[in-house]
Amino acid sequence: MRSCLLVAILLASWLPIVSEALPAANPTIGEELQRAADRAGDAAVVVADLSSAKVLAARNMEVAAGKLVRPGSTLKPFILLELLDTGKLDAQARLFCRRPLMIGTKRMDCTHPTEISTLDAADAIAYSCNSYVSEVATRLTMGDLVQTLRRAGLDSPSGLAREESTGRVTRPSSVAELQLEALGDWGIETTPLELLGAYRRLALRVKAGNLGTAAPIFDGLEGSVSYGMADAAHVQGFRIAGKTGTAASPTSARTHGIFVGFAPAALPQIVLVVYVEHGRGMDAAAIAQPIFAAFARSTGR
pLDDT tens figures, 96-153? 999 999 999 999 999 999 999 999 999 999 999 999 999 999 999 999 999 999 999 9
Per the prediction, the chain carries an average pLDDT of: 91
Query: According to the model, what pLDDT value does residue 136 have?
Result: 98
Q: Nearest to residue 74, comparing CAs of 157, 133, 136?
A: 133
% residues pLDDT > 70 (the chain): 91
Residue 211 has pLDDT above 70, yes or no: yes
Query: According to the model, what pLDDT value does residue 25 have?
Result: 35
Residue 26 has pLDDT above 60, yes or no: no
Query: According to the model, what pLDDT value does residue 1 have?
Result: 40
**pLDDT one-digit tens code per residue, 263-294:** 999 999 999 999 999 999 999 999 999 999 99
Query: According to the model, what pLDDT value does residue 255 have?
Result: 96
Going from N- to C-terminal start, the domains of the chain cover: 28-298
Identify the sign of the CA torsion 264, 242, 213, 210.
positive
**pLDDT one-digit tens code per residue, 182-209:** 999 999 999 999 999 999 999 999 999 9
Three-state SS across the chain? CHHHHHHHHHHHHHHHHHHHHCCCCCCCHHHHHHHHHHHHCCCEEEEEECCCCCEEEEECHHHHHHCCECCHHHHHHHHHHHHHHCCCCCCCCCEECCCCCEECCEECCCCCCCCCCEECHHHHHHCCCHHHHHHHHCCCCHHHHHHHHHHCCCCCCCCCCCCCCCCEECCCCCHHHHHHHHCCCCCEEECHHHHHHHHHHHHHHHHCCCCHHHHHHHHHHHHHHHCCCCHHHCECCECCEEEEEEEECCCCCCEEEEEEEEECCCCCCEEEEEEECCCCHHHHHHHHHHHHHHHHHHCCC
CATH for 28-298, options being 3.30.420.40, 3.40.50.1010, 3.40.50.1820, 3.40.710.10? 3.40.710.10
135: number of Cβ within 10 Å: 18
Q: Nearest to residue 261, comparing CAs of 237, 284, 280, 236?
A: 284
Residue 22 has pLDDT above 70, yes or no: no
Higher-scoring residue by pLDDT: 71, 24: 71
Residue 3 has pLDDT above 60, yes or no: no
Residue 215 has pLDDT above 80, yes or no: yes
Q: Is the omega angle on the peptide bond into residue 100 within 30 degrees of 0, that is, cis?
A: yes
Q: Nearest to residue 193, comparing CAs of 169, 161, 170?
A: 161
How many Cα atoms within 13 Å fall on the side-chain side of residue 161? 26
Sequence-ordered list of residues with C-beta below 8 angstroms from that of 108, at least 6 positions apart, any chain: 101, 102, 130, 134, 180, 183, 185
pLDDT class for 27, splitting at 50, 70, 90?
A: low
Residue 262 has pLDDT above 50, yes or no: yes
**pLDDT one-digit tens code per residue, 42-82:** 999 999 999 999 999 999 999 999 999 999 999 999 999 99
Query: According to the model, what pLDDT value does residue 52 have?
Result: 95
- Helices 215-226 and 76-85: angle between axes, nearest 10 degrees: 160
Please tell me the distance from the alpha carbon of residue 102 to that of residue 99, in angstroms, as a whole number.
8
Residue 24 has pLDDT above 60, yes or no: no
